[in-house]
Amino acid sequence: MKLLVISGDFRQYLDSSFHSLMTALADLLELYLWHESGSIKDILPLLPSTPDFVLLNEPGEINSPVIDELSSLSIPYAVYLHDLHHDSCKEALQDKKLCWVFTRYRDRFRDWYPEWQNRMSWLPHHIDSNIFKDYHLPKTIDYLMMGALHEYIYSLRYKIREKMTEKPGFVYHEHPGYKHFSPAEMKKLFVGPNYAREINRAKLFLSCDSVYKYPLLKYFEVLACNTLLLAPSSPELLDLGFVPGVHFVEIDELNFEEKAEYYLKHEKERKEIARQGYEMVREKHSSTRRAAQLLEMVEGILESYSSFPHSRPWLRTI
């Protein structure tokens, strides 16, 4: 299979998981990765051969290239949507020739875009196992929290910080910003391996899933670093294999401090849940695993749509 992926360049971005996905995917098929804006009519002739499928990652976002004349494509193309509450997602789904949608979050997509239910594949977060791992560092931080604190989006994180900021052993690091980082910045800031090591140093990590109830990337990252996660649960998270009390500890606005104190004191229970979460995430949610799932999804889409060529305008003979 030949796959063209049009995306921003995430090699030195805050979240490099998409780059990790592409690296793993390149081992499974013939991958053409394109980062520049332009007309699809000009891009295709520059490729070694015509792709079987085109995937646009996060169309309309700041880091994404702008691609014109997509309606001229005679091969199937899809989009991969991340933050579903952004207007760019609504705009992408207005394209009448779009054949399929990959979404990072399942339940909110079903709630907000029910008309796409039959042309949607769920492609959740994943972790680069070479970065997010157990570094076997001394657990010198009792309670750790990292990330954005916008009260209207992350209300539980905001309450945790407000309640525990003076608590002995509590550490909070601000969000470094969604941007590209230089090699020098990568060495100084909590980004990439430094971010993973800081998580690995913590006994407990407190977080939330936002007002949208997204199973955010932090759920995966913290478990992959063999640190106990305290965060809310959701049906979508359960379907991803995250079992409260087995892989992480479920909290809410009323009990987060009590549970944090309990698991700080009960080391055996804390380590056992952290270990089980660590093993589960590495087995089920690595970038390598997700790349294989993406390939299987694309193969299924092509097989399904090739059965009905006359009703699918994007499958006209090239």
**How do residues 8-36 score in pLDDT, each as one tens digit?**
887 767 678 899 999 999 999 999 999 99
What are the residue ranges of helices labelled H in the chain?
A: 17-25, 40-43, 87-92, 106-112, 155-164, 183-188, 193-200, 217-224, 235-239, 256-265, 267-284, 287-306
User: Is the pTM here over 0.85, yes or no?
Assistant: yes
What mean pLDDT do residues 236-252 have? 98
Read off the pLDDT band of 181 (50, 70, 90): confident
Read off the pLDDT band of 121 (50, 70, 90): very high
Read off the pLDDT band of 191 (50, 70, 90): confident
In this predicted structure, the answer to whether residue 316 has a pLDDT above a threshold of 50 is no
Look at 305 and 78; give whichever has higher pLDDT.
Answer: 78
Lowest-confidence range among 36-45, 121-130, 147-156, 244-253? 147-156
pLDDT at 314: 41
The winner for highest mean pLDDT among 1-10, 91-100, 237-246 is 237-246
Read off the pLDDT band of 190 (50, 70, 90): confident
Report which residue type is found at 263. Y
Residue pair 193/128 in contact (Cβ under 8 Å)? The answer is: no
Residue pair 315/49 in contact (Cβ under 8 Å)? The answer is: no
In this predicted structure, the answer to whether residue 192 has a pLDDT above a threshold of 90 is no
How far apart (Å, rounded) are the C-alpha atoms in residues 222 and 32?
Answer: 32
What mean pLDDT do residues 214-225 have? 97
Read off the pLDDT band of 175 (50, 70, 90): confident
Quote the tokens at residue 171.
């550490």
For 52-93, write each residue's pLDDT tens digit.
Answer: 999 999 998 888 999 999 989 999 999 999 999 999 999 999
Residue 141 pairs in a beta bridge with 202
Inter-CA distances, 170 with 140, 174, 261, 305, Å: 11, 13, 11, 53
Determine how many CB atoms are found less than 10 A away from the CB of residue 283.
Answer: 10
pLDDT at 186: 74
For the chain, the average pLDDT equals: 92
pLDDT at 61: 84
In this predicted structure, the answer to whether residue 310 has a pLDDT above a threshold of 90 is no
pLDDT at 189: 80
> What percent of the chain is modeled with pLDDT above 70?
94
What mean pLDDT do residues 150-161 have? 93
Determine how many CB atoms are found less than 10 A away from the CB of residue 130.
Answer: 12
How far apart (Å, rounded) are the C-alpha atoms in residues 92 and 281?
Answer: 31
3-class secondary-structure state, position 127: strand
Read off the pLDDT band of 173 (50, 70, 90): very high
